Amino acid sequence: MIKDRFSGKLKEMLSSDEWMILQPEYDPEENLKFESLFSLSNGYLGIRGSHEEGGKITLPYLYINGVFDKSETFMRELAALPNWLGIKLFIEKELIGIENCQILKFSRALDMKQALLAKSLILRDKKGRETLVEGIRFVSRANVHRMGIKLYVTPLNYSGIIEVENIIDGTIINFYDAPRFKVKHTYMTANEPLDKDGIYMEVATRDNHLHTGVGCRIEAYKNGKSILKNRMFHAFGEQGVEFGDFDAAEGETVEIIKYVSMYTEREAARYTLHTKVKEEIDGFMVKGFLEELEAHKTVYEEMWKAADIRIAGDFELDRAIRFNVFHLMSTGNENDSRVNVGAKLLSGEEYGGHAFWDTEIFMLPFFAYIFPETAKNLESYRYHLLEAAKANARKNGFKGAQYPWESADDGTEQCPDWTIEPDGSCYRCYVAVYEHHVTAAVAYGIYNYVKITRDLDFLLNQGAEILTETARFWASRCEYVAEKDRYEINQVTGPDEWHEPVNNNLYTNYLAKWNLRYVISLIDTLKKGHSKEYDTLMEKTGLTAREIKDWEIVQEKIYLPRKEGTDLLEQFEGYFKLEDVVIEKYDEHDWPVRPEALKTKRASQTQIIKQADVVMLLHLMGQEFTEDEIRKNYEYYEKRTLHGSSLSPSIYSVMGLKVGDDSKAYRYLKRAAFLDLLNLQKNTREGIHAANTGGVWQTVVFGFAGVSIGEDGMLTVRPHMPKEWEGLDFCLRHRNSRLRITISRDNSVSVKVLEGEALEVNVNGQIVKAVRE
């Protein structure tokens, strides 16, 4: 058992192996990856799994979701805020740390059940003194403004004075190890004692001057008695350090507890921040570290009851899937509709914390089925930013609402126009200029959210307004080509970013058509049965019967490329004329090897694609295509997809199952589930691939369990269990009920109602009544 690697109290506290992700040894090369894997988030903030004592190889970022800043960089990005992890222990000036000492024993483990990070180290300094340092940290979900660290420090072969530095580090800068991209997003407004002891630091973002306060207090106990002496606060520029010391005796364990709190001006007035933080810490200390941890664990217990997936007979995969669910559910925020979930969650700096289509297409289904309040917040986030999307459309010469390819806090386009190469040359980045399908994803997200949650109120009000404005965008984005009597979307990039730009990307055109079609019928429904909402919509959007008529024509005549006379859909106009290069080899991880042809040619000259594109369309709109079409297109494009994006394997897995390609589907699921754990994309140091976490969930639930909602609104379960699995078990919400779905090896299914009313479900083609357990 992994917990056997920990001693004493810690061992008793930790969970069994299916909940644990272990780092069994320290390898500096792997440290940044583990910082991402071991990041903790409570939805409000996220902190990477950096070591308390710091070090040279670290990207020790802490982000509060929604705190963005631009300063000298190309875009608004989540600002790295002061890091409060710092606890340094010294014996006669020697730091007890991984980089300074010989590591005699090393284990770190993420306990996903309790959402805490544990460590156990034996470190030997240059003079041969050995210290056992164990500990845990957590960011409370019971009270998102409380974070804590508890260390157990035991001198193994010496006695003496241990000096302590308790640190809040405000020097952290974004892109710390990337020359030219480095940027400091905050300036310091306070670095002072919290109270009679402790540290308080306040920083403000440089553009909007949004203040964040962070405070901490530290205590040391031996046998329940407080022993930290000679406390002293020093402000070292942007570092706040509190010194103290205690007498340590061989074989006797000292417990060090650090209590931390953070608030921003988004939750408390600027002039109250210091008091707010201090009072929060006082409250935390009165309650006690372990009691707060208990409350936090109770929240996670409930979250896991809702979200856990259990696979019997495939232990490693079961745990890897749990890992993905853990990070996704931890980052979702059920309390704040001003924040989204960034492409790297809150676990790393790539993409600046921006929301992409990743949210609606990959993550939203998980939240809609499991945590509908969070899903609603994600939808409301887009509604709050509707005006900004309208301004974005105007800026680009279009009508309606064009959602930015990358979205931060204010809804303006945050995809950089330029990027800098190491030689200082700048290269123009055209992604935001051409990649427009995010606007369709927002529209599709509303449809899907409502289909799953039945939140009709949202659909008839905010949803209808967004859908109208996005439809208006698409109508203005389409060009009428008289000689062909059709509408086209030219100079556009589809999901496959290796062909940029193209004309008439099928995915984009199809979803534009769908958006127009869907809103036309929605408006009709409003007109017939919801006159109040209809009137409001008309008034707010200024929509006319004439405009709707025009939309009818546009959607009817949008060009949808395909190979004439065949079932093959064409990714974009002219795709089939490109050199036909196919994938022929797979590496030891069963991953496609870049075809030789790409040594002399760019992918854009060939049919090799980065990620699911036509296949993504079939995933979203499968009901509009025949089984034959789906199979033939899957087979065609699968041989030409290199999965250069993490947004691809999960979709190929789900679609593989649809077409009966079971063994590949299983391999794709493995790829997706281990993508970050094994660093398969080689960039996990930059953060967890958020879309993939949602994709993994979809692969299991929509793919292997075969869950879907029919046009009649009935939940369908039609599993395809891989031969490796003995059983599959998970929960989801449908209508007003919470259901447990259990699937056996032979694909037989039991659906039980855990909460709410009994209901009918279509299981393997039979209508069955699901009743209470």
For ligand BGC, the binding residues (CB under 6 A) are 343, 351, 356-358, 495, 497, 611, 645, 647, 691
Closest separation in Å from C-beta 505 to ligand BGC:
13
In the complex with ligand BGC, which residue's Cβ is closer, 49 or 495?
A: 495
Q: Indicate which residue of 497, 500, 570, 686 is catalytic.
A: 497
Burial 228-244 (b: 16+ CB within 10 A, else e): beebebebeebbbbbbb
Question: Which phi and psi angles does 299 have, rounded to 5°?
Answer: -65, -45
Q: How far is the CB of 196 from ligand BGC (least distance, A)?
A: 47
CB of 645 to ligand BGC, least distance (A): 4
Nearer residue to ligand BGC within complex by CB, 87 or 343:
343
- Beta-carbon contacts of residue 528 (< 8 Å; ≥ 6 apart): none
Place of tokens 């942007």: 238
> Would you call 164 helix, strand, or coil by DSSP?
strand
Provide the β-strand partners of residue 201: 191, 214
Nearest CB to ligand BGC, comparing residues 77 and 358:
358
Which residues partner with 64 through β-bridges? 45
For residue 285, give the nearest of 399, 168, 374, 194 by alpha carbon: 194
* Minimal distance, residue 699 CB to ligand BGC, in Å: 17
Least CB distance from residue 655 to ligand BGC, whole Å? 16
Tell whether residue 70 is among the known ligand binding residues: no
Which is nearest to 211 in space by CA: 231, 244, 188, 228?
188
Instruction: Show the DSSP H helices in 183-312 as ranges.
Output: 273-287, 289-307
CB of 173 to ligand BGC, least distance (A): 23
358 among the known binding-site residues? yes
| Crossing angle for the helix pair 372-384 and 386-395, to the nearest 10 degrees | 40
- Measure the CA–CA gap between 145 and 84, rounded to whole angstroms: 13
Residue in the block written with tokens 């529209």: 443
Name the residue nearer to ligand BGC (CB basis): 343 or 548. 343
Residues 6+ apart with CB under 8 A from 378: 340, 341, 359, 360, 363, 364, 367, 445, 449
Q: What is the 3-state secondary structure (H, E, C) of 628-671?
A: HHHHHHHHHHHCCECCCCCCCHHHHHHHHHHCCCHHHHHHHHHH
By beta-carbon proximity to ligand BGC, the closer residue of 82 and 649 is: 649
Q: Which is nearer to ligand BGC, 296 or 437 (CB)?
A: 437
Smallest distance, ligand BGC to C-beta of residue 36, A: 15
105 has binding-site annotation: no
635 as an active site residue: the answer is no
Q: Among residues 668, 609, 621, 421, which one has the least CA distance to residue 507?
A: 621
Closest CA to 687 of 134, 63, 135: 63
399 is in an annotated binding site: no
Taking the least distance from each CB to ligand BGC, the nearer of 645 and 693 is: 645
Annotated binding-site positions: 357-358, 610-611
Annotated binding-site positions for substrate: 357-358, 610-611
Annotated catalytic residues are 497
